Amino acid sequence: MRPPLLLLLLFFSLLPRADGRGELRAFVVAHSHMDVGWVYTVQESMHAYAANVYTSVVEELMKGKQRKFIAVEQEFFRLWWDAVATDMHKQQVHQLLQEGRLEFVIGGQVMHDEAVTLIDDQILQLTEGHGFLYETFGIRPQFSWHVDPFGASATTPTLFAMAGFNAHLISRIDYDLKADMQKNKKLQFVWQGSPSLSERQEIFTHVMDQYSYCTPSQIPFSNRSGFYWNGIAVFPDPPKDGVYPNMSLPVTDTNIHLYAQTMVANIKERAAWFRTSDVLWPWGCDKQFFNASVQYSNMDLLLDYINKHSDEFGVTVQYATVGDYFQAVYNRNLTWEIRDSQDFLPYSTEPFQAWTGFYTSRSTLKGIARRASSLLYAGESFFTQYVRKHPASSICKCRALRQLQSLRWAVSEVQHHDGITGTESPKVKDMYMNNLMYGMFNVKKLMASIIMDMNNAKKNGEVYSSIHINDSGIPGAPDVDQYVVVYNPLAWNITTFVAVSVSHLEMSVYDELGHSVPAQVQSSAESHSTYDLYILVEISGLSYRKYNVKPLNGKQRAFTGRSVKYKRKDITRADQQNRQLLPVVNNCYQVLLDQNTNLMHSITERETNQTVQLTQEFLEYHVNGDVMKGPISDNYLFAPNASAVPVSKAVGLEVVSGNLMTEIRQYFYSNVTSQDYIYAAYTRMYTVPEGYDGKLLCHRIEQEYSVGPLELNREAVLRTSTNLNTRQLLYTDSNGYQIQKRPFKAYVNNTVARNYYPMVQTAYIEDDTTRLMLLAERAHGVSSQGNGQVEVMLHRRLWNNLQWDLNYNLTLNDSSVVRPVIWLILGTKSVTDILYRTSGLALEHRPVVMFGALSGDKPKLPGQLQQNSVHSSPVTVPPNLHLQSLSIPGWRYSSNHAEQVHSIRMGKQKEGDADFSRVLLRIRHLYEVGEDPVLSQPVMVNLKSLLKGLGSVVVVEERSLTGTWDVNTLKRWKWKTARYPSKGFSNSTETSENCTVTVHPKEIRTFFVYFQGQ
């Protein structure tokens, strides 16, 4: 859903009084909120209404010079532009943009969710949309319109500031907080979303009032809704006669005064909640303006009438864009309050409606969306290096770029606020999944073909007969050597284990030089017919290596993990006095298991000898599905009946131990005699041999869970209870970018649900000395419901009889089994500070594993093998920096704005092939100011030497976050605050000289890089 923008225009000559009051001016912002998925698929929406919105709006805007409209989601606009718009429509769009009567706001592919999305994916979808708009029209959106995401993150305003926006607009915040801000005229403020970047990336923020982004629909003189003259969209087909349900009463001589009174009364009610006499009046709602003719013809009459009687009404009205409204407010030159980096999460709409269920809804979709994002990240840097190092390659670059673009589009699309949130209907979930799987298939195919090409190009007798990436493992053709190719997508040197599924217990693994590689093989927890082979890999930044996996030949065999199964224990009758404790130890931790219960008992951090009592159990919240009996849980809402209930009375235990790894397998049964378990936890601890850098590996306890299928109206959590005195204070990440402090708050109603927060990548609890960190590979709801506790919601399965949910199939009857992964890190605050950011990214961007079968059995010389396997020069950054993007976007626009605008106006946009010479590079500083004495320091990076392996850098241009502004020409509005009393423009960064840049805490710096010979 979206809020409207304010109309500004002709009145700057009439300078208002300094207090910003005076005659009220209403800015009528025409808009259509178009969900990219939700109840209906994108294709269904295009057919039923979305294509008609753009066709009819463009045609109607041409008929009246005063009319305006804002366009938001680029996915729908681009589909219309590419497949529906005529040449005449396209000409008209160019004209309307030049006249300022059509305005693109946000400009991303979607209006992204703010709670459960990762910063990388928010940037991706914004960059995708902005690149299209700049290439096609030479325009750069400068205002946001985040009217429908369920709560507001502090990361989003920071990103929008970095993208060059002048103002940000949100709507859905806690009902009681909004009422309070409304009463005290505090709905507008300057938001410093990042504590480290503070005023450099602050942004003026407008919170919509209680009417939000839809036109008020009640009108006193008719039982039909008002101001919706085109009615409600009809699915699957638009009605042939053009008559839609619930079309508002047309404006006539007899009712125009009543319409005007209704509209003016609403404008005046809203004006009382804001400091200036400029009133933002959104006109539209979900799926509106599919028949813009009837909309504008009625509103024209109404606006004219009010303006002719403005003395009587005390109001003037005008069509406007969001930019018009914000320009009017900016021109008032008022001094605004500063809001710090606190976000607006969670979000409740009334006492029993806490929108905290969606943090976990459709966990499988959340997991696939993140896996797709991670694969895209790997594929982009892999392809970029290939293009730079193999200019005369046999792979068609244009086709390769289309393969990457299919995944860019799919990952962008699912960031929609009814996508990754899990709040869509089953058929729309299937649409997202299919698009993600198709994009992933394309990128896997591309990466495999690059390996084939690079190895065949070496002409040294080594021919790949097949390369594939799958999740199963090595196919068992015994007469062909099997290779595992492993790519490290991070710009750090990594030491980690990769797991592949094999068909023999006796295996050997060799590297490119024929040296034996440490590995461990053991029975699979999942399958009785296969084994899991764990290979210890050491790979430099953005490089790949090849490992030869052979059935046993002699001494160099992999270690074998030996399994010990323990008797299932009844945990309800456990002997608390005579505990028998079973130790599992590596170089960093000792984990003790209580043999009376088969549950974890404690963890000792060996360096400090600090022991934390720590136990884990699965519980379920039982929730109500009958609206007659009280509040319900659904896709969005979490409304537990009571405290969570333990799910199991008995726990089975198996410990598989070997020289490199120990795996603790726990199975949770509803009672001692149950045949099947619904819950399982697999905990892995690694022992790294001498000579390897095992710091990260040793310091993490990897856990993977198997949860489901659940019974109906159950919400499953993993609760970790410790003896840390945390005072019930929880910390969670904001979109993988920064940390938010979450003190437990007591409410009159619904305290459990209102203390749930989104965990996108990180959550932790701590006492004065020790911290327990949880790192995740997908989003979850997380809470601390007791001192020393942290609980993570892993899965939900719900059904209710609310008619609205039933009509749209939004009841979340999710019968799947989910398999989330969480890594635990325990240690002092200083140690965990050093470990958790690199570890979180190591979990997010695990190595990509490909399998190859090599035919031809000529012996190879070690030198040849070595040279043909590793990218010759790695790309590495220091541990406090992250190479956030290395890609070839393919956009054909000119970096020079005047040139780009000129070529568009002359109709000379570059057609034809994508631009492969421009490389997009983003570098992010991972730490906050003052967080760590060493890692929080600014870092100098020489981009020439960083990228020397890709060629000789000749030009570096620093750009805004999405690439469309040259930072030297980007002048954002500087809003007056008590701290910074002058209004003006703010410049964002110091630019690089001779390709050396200094990256300060929390900065994300974006560059276009060009190499010699391009």
* Separation in Å, CA 119 to CA 342, 373, 679, 877: 17, 11, 31, 20
- In angstroms, the CA 395 to CA 411 distance is 24
Is residue 626 flagged as an active site residue?
A: no
Q: Which two tokens stand for residue 735?
A: 């979109």
What are residue 662's DSSP bridge partners? 657, 685
CB atoms within 10 A of CB 872: 9
Strand order in the sheet with 881-887: 881-887, 919-925, 1004-1011, 953-959
Predicted local distance difference test score (pLDDT) of residue 557? 83
> In Å, how far from its chain's centre is CA 963?
19
- In angstroms, the CA 692 to CA 701 distance is 18
DSSP string, 931-999: SSTTTTS-EEEEHHHHTGGG--EEEEEEE-TTS-SBTTT--EEE--BSSS---EEE---PPPBTTEEEE
Residue 598: half-sphere exposure toward Cβ, Cα within 13 Å: 28
Q: Which two tokens stand for residue 292?
A: 């813009």
Predicted local distance difference test score (pLDDT) of residue 1011? 95
- In angstroms, the CA 492 to CA 543 distance is 10
End-to-end CA distance of the chain: 45
Residues 6+ apart with CB under 8 A from 568: 598, 650, 651, 652, 653, 667, 669, 672
- In angstroms, the CA 115 to CA 17 distance is 40
Map 849-913 to HEC letters. Answer: EEEEEEECCCCCCHHHHHHHHCCCCCCCCCCCEEEEEEECCECCCCCCHHHHHHHHHCCCCCCCC
* 3-class secondary structure, 661: strand
Strand order in the sheet with 315-320: 278-286, 24-33, 315-320
Element (H, E) at 43: helix 42-45
Predicted local distance difference test score (pLDDT) of residue 6? 36
Q: What is the mean pLDDT of each run of 10 residues along the chain (1014 residues)?
A: 36 39 90 97 98 98 98 98 97 97 98 98 98 97 98 97 98 96 98 92 97 93 92 95 94 97 97 98 97 97 98 97 98 96 96 96 98 98 94 88 98 98 97 98 94 69 56 58 91 96 89 93 89 96 93 76 94 84 96 96 96 97 95 95 94 97 97 92 96 93 97 98 98 97 95 97 97 98 98 97 89 95 96 94 96 57 41 85 97 95 84 88 97 95 95 95 96 91 62 83 97 82
- In angstroms, the CA 447 to CA 468 distance is 9
558 contacts 508 by C-beta, under 8 angstroms: yes
714 contacts 640 by C-beta, under 8 angstroms: no
- In angstroms, the CA 129 to CA 961 distance is 13
> In Å, how far from its chain's centre is CA 232?
31
> In Å, how far from its chain's centre is CA 424?
16
- The angle at the Cα of 675, spanning 669 to 680, to the nearest 5 degrees, equals 40
- In angstroms, the CA 1009 to CA 875 distance is 15
DSSP string, 368-383: HHHHHHHHHHHHHHHH
**Omega before 709 within 30 of 0, i.e. cis:** yes
* Separation in Å, CA 374 to CA 117, 472, 537, 884: 13, 18, 19, 11
Helix locations, 513-670, DSSP H? none
Q: Which two tokens stand for residue 811?
A: 């009841």
CA proximity to 413, closest of 25, 72, 75, 748: 75
- In angstroms, the CA 496 to CA 684 distance is 13
Predicted local distance difference test score (pLDDT) of residue 5? 36
Predicted local distance difference test score (pLDDT) of residue 553? 63
Residues 6+ apart with CB under 8 A from 869: 512, 544, 545, 546
Q: Is 99 exposed, middle or buried (0-12, 13-18, 19+ CB in 10 A)?
A: exposed
Q: Is 784 exposed, middle or buried (0-12, 13-18, 19+ CB in 10 A)?
A: buried
959 contacts 966 by C-beta, under 8 angstroms: yes
- In angstroms, the CA 994 to CA 393 distance is 31
Residue 822: half-sphere exposure toward Cβ, Cα within 13 Å: 27
Query: Sign of dihedral through CA atoms 203, 208, 212, 216?
Result: negative
- In angstroms, the CA 174 to CA 344 distance is 7
CB atoms within 10 A of CB 264: 20
* 3-class secondary structure, 399: helix
- In angstroms, the CA 528 to CA 704 distance is 19
DSSP string, 678-718: SEEEEEEEE-PPTTS--HHHHT-EEEEEEE-PPPTTEEEEE
513 contacts 865 by C-beta, under 8 angstroms: yes
Predicted local distance difference test score (pLDDT) of residue 906? 87
- In angstroms, the CA 393 to CA 396 distance is 8
In the chain, what are the helix, strand and coil shares in percent, each to the nearest 5? Answer: 25, 30, 45
Catalytic residue selected from 121, 148, 634, 733? 148
